[in-house]
């Protein structure tokens, strides 16, 4: 049975539709077609066209396949722009990482519907998550270029864990300042630490 016939029978569609679907899912090799059709079944909704079901399933299938590659240590992206495009395509309105760039591990970053990066550990005076500035955004994508396995990996901390982490960090900072602070002059070590300080 060839690819077109397999799709015709598996999706109960005609030859023309199967040919179009075959082109749509061209990046899925023949030996993975069965797995994709099984995966696609979980996206079937009443009153939803077969084409839309396939597109929706394909979108998530591609994300999951890329996630497997990233978790296996592959580095498929060559530039920060490619990573930004990938994240903005597959993680709109979703959490996409934690502790990225200059942020502590308990800080979860997400994208909103307009692809702004949100710091989900900080709520501003208007009751919404803080949006990262363009310079902060660039740091996050550069970090992801160097640490591609962190794309889509999200670790959640409880409120109690976050408060404990913050206390530990504040204690460490004050200990270092006490050791290095002499004659009202901040040592180069402290200046360097303050410049590299991660954010909440």
Q: Which residue is it, tokens 């059709």?
A: 37
> With the C-alpha atoms ordered 38, 43, 48, 49, is the resulting torsion angle positive or negative?
negative
**Distance from C-alpha of 67 to C-alpha of 148, rounded to nearest angstrom:** 10
Q: Give 60-100 pLDDT, tens digit per residue.
A: 999 999 999 999 999 999 999 999 999 999 999 999 999 99
Q: Which residue is it, tokens 């066209």?
A: 49
Half-sphere exposure of 42 (CA within 13 A, CB side): 8
Give the residues of the chain that fall short of pLDDT 50. Answer: 177-191, 193-196
Radius of gyration of the chain measured on its C-alpha atoms: 23
Q: What tokens appear for 130 in the block? A: 């803080």
111 forms bridges with which residues in the sheet? 117
Q: Give 47-62 pLDDT, tens digit per residue.
A: 999 999 999 999 999 9
Q: What residues contact residue 71 under an 8 Å CB cut-off, 6+ apart?
A: 149, 153
Strands (DSSP E) contained in the chain are 95-98, 108-111, 117-123, 129-131
132: nearest Cα among 157, 108, 153: 108
């Amino acid at each position: 049975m060839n690819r077109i016939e397999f799709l015709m029978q598996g999706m109960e569609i005609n030859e023309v539709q199967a040919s179009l679907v075959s082109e749509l899912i061209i990046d899925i090799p023949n030996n993975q077609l069965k797995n994709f059709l099984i995966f696609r079944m979980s996206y079937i909704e009443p009153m939803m066209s077969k084409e839309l079901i396939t597109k929706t399933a394909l979108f998530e299938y591609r994300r999951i396949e890329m996630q497997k590659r990233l978790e296996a240590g592959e580095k498929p992206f060559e530039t920060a722009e490619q990573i930004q495009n990938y994240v903005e395509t597959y993680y709109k309105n979703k959490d996409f990482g934690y502790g990225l760039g200059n942020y502590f591990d308990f800080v979860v970053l997400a994208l909103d519907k307009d692809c702004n990066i949100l710091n989900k550990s900080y709520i501003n005076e208007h009751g919404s998550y803080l949006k990262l500035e363009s310079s902060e955004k660039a740091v996050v994508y550069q970090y992801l270029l160097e640490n591609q396995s962190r794309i889509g990996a999200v670790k959640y901390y409880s409120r109690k864990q976050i408060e404990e982490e913050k206390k530990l960090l504040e204690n460490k900072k004050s200990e270092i300042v006490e050791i290095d602070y002499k004659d009202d002059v901040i040592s180069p070590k402290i200046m360097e630490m303050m410049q590299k300080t991660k954010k909440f």
